[in-house]
Amino acid sequence: MVQSINTKVDVVEKATSFLGIADYGKIMVGDKGFEFYDERDAKNFIQIPWEEVDIVITSVMFKGKWIPRFAIKTKQNGTFTFSTKDPKKVLRAIRVYITPDRIVKSLSFFQVLQRSVKNIFSKKNKNE
């Protein structure tokens, strides 16, 4: 059986982890860290202490009306992407333990496209 790192739990929510193949389970946000437990396999879990979290990246659409997924970037182990039934509730619980300046919005499709076009034209001007 897996031992939780939290002593107090703030939020438990149904979620999907996008680490490799999508896994369905539950997210637990507590006083010591962020945890994901797979509902089918007890050995498949993710535990991230708050000291290890670098930034939280959210994908925001329609001016904040819909948040399809969010990612937690750690200092050593990479980025973990999740989706929940109620992402705003989970992000509010995370905001208690992570300062709001470390919770950022990801770039939109058009921002990525605009940056790539600017990059192409700036390379052309440098070569001339």
Residue-wise pLDDT for 13-52, tens only, equals: 999 999 888 899 999 999 999 999 999 988 889 999 999 9
Instruction: Please choose, from the candidates 101, 66, 106, the residue with its C-alpha nearest in 3D space to the C-alpha of residue 83.
Output: 66
Note if the pTM is more than 0.85.
no
**Smallest Cα–Cα separation from 109: which of 54, 62, 55, 56?**
62
Other Cβ atoms within 10 Å of 81 Cβ, number:
16
pLDDT digits (tens, 9 = 90+) for 75-97: 998 999 999 999 889 999 999 99
Is-contact 41 19, C-beta < 8 A? no
At 76, list the tokens: 């050593």
